[in-house]
Amino acid sequence: MKKAIVHIFILAFLGGCNNSPDKDVSRVPIAKAGNSYLYADEIKNIVPINTPAKDSVELLKKYIDNWMHEILVIQKAENNLTEEQKNVDKELKDYRNSLITYAYEKELVKQKLDTMVENQEIEKYYTANQKDFQLKDNIIKVIYVKVNKKAPNIAKLKQLYKSDNTKDREQLESYCHQFALNSYLDDNSWLLFDDLLKEIPIQTYNKELFLQNNRYVEVSDSTSSYFLNIKGFKIRNSTSPLSFEKENIKNIILNKRKLQLISKMKEDVYNEAANNNKTEIYLNDKSKK
């Protein structure tokens, strides 16, 4: 079906294409823009398999329209720029060199980078750079449960979500598994307070003051009840805790290793060439002055 659609579309364009010295007579043209041609073999993979016929034609039309606009602008530029302005050999060479260098560095990092970061190294970096870890937002450790207002045994839930007892926590997990519409019971991890406010209809004009003056929070909307046990919090502009920054520090350390690996590679390449007499500097006394 796809080939048939493309074939029909090609035939529709053939009538409008005249012979030209720039035309490749060994190929089937489907569109012309100025002195450039678009050929059937260049669009054979444009339409995904199983695309409906109507959509296939629209995709081809859009592709050809974009091609025409691009080609015509290029031709306009060719006709209106000086030879010096059109000489982009150096830019192309620089761009090619940067792409090749990047590909080599990427492969080097893939093969050589040590991605194992010990907790001790993370802690050492955190201790030495605490000034760099200032919170931009309020964060909290929390237990949070959302249930339907008609959920069973809510009185028991009100006891469980406040408790630090291990057995009560197991019962709370079981209750949430059965009845909670949403819950978060990992009170060892830090969350952004703003993210939690997206889930709970708490109205406050001073978030910091709210955190400082509330431990247990119970609110409701028209259909649901929300229970919040704030186990800990950090106010923005204070020092961010290590556990909250651990992944960030790990990425910083890995990035430093990557830069060091690339820098060492460049130095090793230079030293190897110098030791093998493959480098020379052609400066005479006059050029040094």
Burial of 117 (0-12, 13-18, 19+ CB in 10 A): middle
Q: Looking at the predicted structure, is the pLDDT value of residue 281 above 80?
A: yes
Mean pLDDT for 110-128 is: 96
Mean pLDDT for 27-56 is: 86
Q: Looking at the predicted structure, is the pLDDT value of residue 71 above 50?
A: yes
Separation between Cα atoms, residue 47 and residue 43, nearest integer Å: 8
In this predicted structure, what is the pLDDT of residue 25? 76
Q: Compute φ and ψ for 230, nearest 5 degrees.
A: -85, 105
Kindly compute the dihedral angle of the four CA atoms of residues 75, 77, 79, 83, in this order, to the nearest 10 degrees: -120
Residue 9 pLDDT level (bands cut at 50, 70, 90):
low
Other CB atoms closer than 10 Å to residue 112's CB: what's the count? 13
Domains in the chain, ordered, with CATH?
2-82 (no CATH), 88-131+252-289 (no CATH), 135-234 (3.10.50)
Q: Say which residue the tokens 């059937």 belong to.
A: 40
Residue 19 pLDDT level (bands cut at 50, 70, 90):
very low
199-236, pLDDT tens digit by residue? 999 988 899 999 999 999 999 999 999 999 999 999 99
Residues ≥6 apart with Cβ < 8 Å to 246? 122
Residues ≥6 apart with Cβ < 8 Å to 176? 145, 183, 185
